[in-house]
Amino acid sequence: MRETQYYFFICHASEDKDSFVRPLAIDLSNRGYKVWYDEFSLKLGDSLTSGISEGIKSSLYGLVVLSKNFLNKNWAKKEFEAFLNKEVITSNNLILPVWLEVDLEDVYEFSPFLTDKVAIKAERGNINKVAEAIFTKVSIYITSVQDIKDTIEHLINCNDDRRQKYYLEVINRVNNIFHYQKEYYNWYTDDNLFKENDWDQALVDIKEKELQKDYNIPSGVWLLPEPFDWHEIDRAKKLLSKWVFRKLNYFECEELYFLLEEVLDTDVHYILYGFPHSTIRSKLVYEESIKGIRTIGLNPKKNKIIEPDSQELLSTLYKKYYAKE
């Protein structure tokens, strides 16, 4: 399945790169948002057409920078129309118009539809104001270090009732993810779903959205279109129980992370803390999240032995889970 990889896809005219678009893309990236912008996202030799197509499919929002340059380009309208089709399919407001030194008449001439959307009015040289307006408008959540620390603190100090409640939430997230993936896979691989040369992307997008709603999976969770070994999933659940109730040893801490990240290739952060993969935007937050496996899971009264060598643990885990292959 295609993951939502980017927060914003920037539709723009090349003439506006230096004075507006590139500085805006850099500002948004520095704020923690992953941006699809051709200079960031396309490498030498990449297909421009397929790259743009995948970028649109994999982005939450389309930032349409409407300038006099943009309004006079036919291909610009094609990018806009692609996002418009995505809006219709998903029933979400995905297009964020940025009026770069244009007026109502200019926009109406390009697309009457856009005149009905609340827009961000922009001028060259005032990038920070535009980025702040975008942030305020979409309110995309980014997990902070403090969010992770607060959850860790809660699990270290909470009472038994709260701990039991948290455990049920964790297991519910696991069940929802893997049942979703199994059902999606069975649907997607049905021989009768698509006939040769009869691919229907709209149908796929609708099904993804329908199943995510059915299984209560928020946007931004890392998902794969395939089922996994339920014995390994059950093993992960047992380790998660010991993690929540602070009964893991050193080896089990490494095994829990290895199972979730390597073997099951699932959303570790969402399962452990409820924060979707796509909201983890900095290395510091990622490291704090993974460190929390030991901080919470190890009972300090029962783990006073010398910490084992991590490479030896990893080698043991590879043998345990992959030797059968």
* Catalytic residue numbers, as ranges: 79
With a CB cutoff of 8 Å and minimum separation 6, the contacts of 271 are 170, 173, 174, 177, 240, 260
The answer to whether the beta carbons of residues 55 and 36 sit under 8 Å apart is yes
Give me the helix-helix angle, 127-138 and 22-30, nearest 10°: 50
Residue bearing tokens 């010398």: 306
Q: What is the CA radius of gyration of the chain?
A: 23
- Give CA–CA dist 95/149, Å, rounded: 35
The answer to whether the beta carbons of residues 104 and 32 sit under 8 Å apart is no
216 CB-contact burial (10 Å; exposed 0-12 / middle 13-18 / buried 19+): exposed
- Give CA–CA dist 127/130, Å, rounded: 5
With a CB cutoff of 8 Å and minimum separation 6, the contacts of 187 are 193, 207
Six token digits for residue 230: 């339920």
Q: Residue 193 carries which DSSP code?
A: T
Sign of CA dihedral 174, 225, 33, 85: negative
Closest by Cα among 265, 255, 225 to 315 = 255
One-letter amino acid of 305: I
Helix spans in the chain (H) = 22-30, 38-41, 48-57, 68-71, 74-90, 104-110, 127-138, 145-157, 160-188, 201-214, 230-244, 250-258, 268-273, 283-297, 310-322
